A and B are shown apart, each in its own frame.
Chain A
Amino acid sequence: MALKALDIYKLLPKKNCKECGDPTCLTFAMKLASGKGDVEKCPYLDLNAKNILGASTRPPIQLVKIGVGERRFAVGEEFVVFRHEKTFYHPPGIMFQVSDLWPAETIESVTRRVGSEHFVRVGTDLTFSGVAITNESGDPDVFAKAVGVVEATGTHIPEVLMASDPAVQEEGLKKCGNFRPLIYSATRDTYKPMCALARKFGSPLVVTAKDPQTLGEMTKLCNAEGITDLLLDLSFPSLRDYLPAATEIRQKSISRSAPELGYPIFLDTTRYQMQDTALVLGIDKYAGVIVTPALPPASSVAALTLRQNIYTDPQKPIQMNPGIYPVGTPGKDSPVLLTVNFSLTYFTVQGYLESSRVPCYMFIVDTEGLSVLTAVAAGKLNETLVRDSIKKFDLENLVSHRRLIIPGYASPLSGKIEDETGWKVQVGPRDAAELGDYLVKEWKI
């Protein structure tokens, strides 16, 4: 059960020494209660208090970091079952699988692709997360060589070493153990040597079992070996079992009714026929690390976009930076279209403007991410903002005319904007889909 801040406060030294980085013991207690604090930061706790607090104040799902450097990522530390309850924080790492039986050039090209490929959406860089090297040869030297090929690319992307034999695993780790690769995986038979490797190389470890209950038993065994950076792998023969089990693990870890299940989930889609389906399930529902064959170009952007969608904070719309964005190559007499900095509005409008083939300027004002309708209703989009933004972004020197197209839903503001700015206002359509037609018919200079 989660403790309340005051219950936690009673267990703290109440010295307000600030050594934990918080101003008082009470603020530290509040942080712990919300699952955001780290018990270890208090140097004065006795062991008993630590034990009580440790189990109930760590996030319900353990934070696990994979890889080092710029491309490292963290999974876990989630607090809700549904994203609408708050938000999901750590998007799953999507790892492209390579086999140690493949020619070096193939391994190299997949690795380089993950290293360099990126797509920009909503102002964010979207990338795949790393590679998973599978030991299909059964040979430690072949495996180590494949890991060596990945390392030699110098891409520094996170890795999963997929070798179930501890002796083979160790040969791989010798090549890349400094870079926090994810070790796959410990079973009931191999958990001791695998935990020893995880300890030696400071790597996170996947535990594999066929049902949540056994996974829970395994994490306890690994904890006893001193390993707490764990992921849970459900080795189901059928994809049908994934959602029920992943849902159970998520529910029980969030409610803390089974803290031993409080680790991120590992999903290997290569085990199944329907890898696209498995990938969608993993992204939608609770996976922390997903291994997939390298995706074809057609589904790459769809997969990354879905991941971005699911992990967008529902309470915080993604915002664009206010400013002037050219569409095509506009000139001094090109139209200027004002809209808000809610990313969805921006990208919808931009898409239709691009397809209209009319070069123009998008003039994005700061409505703190509100859509046109809500920004008008809340008074965030008003004549003063427009006036100040014209000045700030030097619109008067950008174009030679003084005409501004505003969104249809902002029509009540047209008179006030004209009075305040001296610009002539033209009211555009309400639906962005009609912008192309509108520009062709209504923009004449």
Chain B
Amino acid sequence: MAEKSPDMGGKIGYVLLGATKAEGGTRSVSYHPGGETDLPFTGMKAWEGSVPLVAFEICDDPGYWSPIVTSYTGDLVSDTPEWARTAEKQYGADLVRLYLTSTKRRGFDDFPSITKVMEGVLSGTGLPLVVEGSNEPAIDSEVFQRCGEAGQGERLLLGTAEAGRYRSVAAAAMAYNHSVVAQSPIDINLAKQLNILLREIGLKADHMMIDPYTGSLGYGFEYSYSVMERIRYAALKGDTDLAMPMITSATDSLSVKEVRDAGPAVRDDIAVAWEFYAALSSAVAGSSIVCVRHPKTVPLLKQAFRELWAGKMPGEA
């Protein structure tokens, strides 16, 4: 086995995602990403840490979603709770990541609908949830409040906090005991700075995950890959401000030219390949949760992680 560098004494902290009945929630499973003491998929000591998790991304207004996914999936995308259930039962995802794209509509003010969507998805799937709230600072506070409240006790992962726009999401997370996605633009120092800002307003380190921002393959992925490696390595060397597990999503994968312009016969396969290559490489660089949008990418990633991971898989005793 590889020699651990002598200067590696750090450990990635744990974050609790989802809460089972025993933990005060209603999820059928909960996860504890974190705990790694060595480079991804290596290590000398009995595979400390956690296998990367696969999150399937859905949304509550498919008008804002990739036509590749909506045409592959069909009518299901208009039934958000059922879409979430399918992600769990049929695609085999570990988590569901819900984007509240309905809030992108101009002049959105139907806040009760958020509570309704949240309740629907929570009853549709027993998996832990990642919830992406509004895209509009003016309605952040109301949207995140609704998400947090609807998911009370469920240990959601709420996103997304950015420098200059993190108070609403952090406030909702702290009020209802959820965790936060902290996103910075492909820069290790900005990632660290944001974590410190969040800590200073009272969010605990075990309630944060780092999103270093992931460019899609061929469109900046190399920068994201290296920033992930740097963050992971800095944490292993003992920088506790960077020792949170990472969540990554190459969200542009399905809209880059190579995928968008592919012929109908190969379009789905190309979409899956672009998602798979970026997501697996992100896990190799240190990401604990990788997120994808094409249903066919999920089982491929799960199979790859099962093959590469010598430790326990989620759900295994």
Interface residues of A (CB under 8 A from B): 82-84, 121-122, 238-240, 243-245, 247-248, 251-252, 273-274, 276-277, 280-281, 283-285, 296-299, 301-303, 305-306, 308-310, 312, 314, 344, 347-348, 350-351, 354-355
Contacts and interface: CB of A to CB of B under 8 A. Distances in A.
B284 A347 contact: no
A296 B225 CA distance: 25
Contact of B218 (A121, A273, A281, A296): A121
B89 to A, nearest CB: 24
Residue in A302, A314, A354 with the greatest tally of chain B CB atoms within 10 Å: A302
Interface of B is mostly: helix
A252 B217 CA distance: 30
Contact of B280 (A247, A252, A277): A277
Nearest to A243: B41
Given A240-B308, A280-B277, A297-B266, A248 B219 contact: no
29 contacts: A82-B230, A83-B222, A84-B227, A122-B218, A239-B308, A240-B307, A240-B308, A244-B41, A244-B42, A245-B2, A251-B3, A274-B303, A276-B273, A281-B308, A284-B281, A284-B284, A284-B285, A297-B266, A299-B273, A302-B270, A302-B273, A305-B277, A309-B225, A310-B281, A344-B215, A354-B257, A354-B261, A355-B260, A355-B261
Contacts of A355: 257, 260-261
Contacts of A276: 273, 276, 300, 304
A247 B2 contact: yes
B309 A240 contact: yes
A243 B270 contact: no
Nearest to B222: A309
A203 to B, nearest CB: 31
Interface string B275-291: 01110110011000000
B230 A248 contact: no
Contacts of B24: none
Nearest to A348: B219
Contacts of A299: 269, 273, 277
A281 to B, nearest CB: 7
Given A251-B5, A298-B273, 12 more contacts: A83-B222, A121-B218, A243-B284, A276-B300, A284-B281, A285-B284, A299-B277, A302-B270, A305-B217, A310-B225, A354-B257, A355-B260
Contacts of A121: 218
Interface size class of B (residues with CB under 8 A): 35 or more
A114 to B, nearest CB: 19
Interface of B: 1-3, 5, 39-43, 215, 217-223, 225-227, 229-230, 233, 256-258, 260-261, 266, 269-270, 272-274, 276-278, 280-281, 284-285, 300, 303-304, 307-310
B3 to A, nearest CB: 6
B1 A244 contact: yes
Contacts of B226: 82-84, 314
Contacts of B304: 274, 276-277
A206 B98 CA distance: 49
A351 B254 CA distance: 13
Nearest to B262: A298
A382 B200 CA distance: 40
Contacts, number: 127
Most buried by A among B218, B225, B227, B261: B218
B308 A243 contact: yes
Contacts of B277: 280, 299, 302-303, 305-306
Contacts of B227: 84
Contact of B233 (A82, A245, A273): A82
Contacts of A312: 222
A271 to B, nearest CB: 13
Most chain A CB atoms below 10 A, which of B226, B277, B278: B277
A245 B1 CA distance: 6
Nearest to A314: B226
Given A240-B309, A298-B266, A351-B256, A344 B219 contact: yes
A249 to B, nearest CB: 9
A274 B39 contact: no
A399 B1 CA distance: 64
A247 B233 CA distance: 14
Contact of A309 (B2, B40, B218, B300): B218
Given A121-B218, A240-B308, A309-B218, A84 B257 contact: no
A251 B2 contact: yes
A308 B39 contact: no
Contacts of A244: 1-2, 41-43
Given A247-B39, A247-B42, A296 B269 contact: yes
Contacts of B2: 244-245, 247-248, 251
Contacts of B222: 83, 309-310, 312, 314
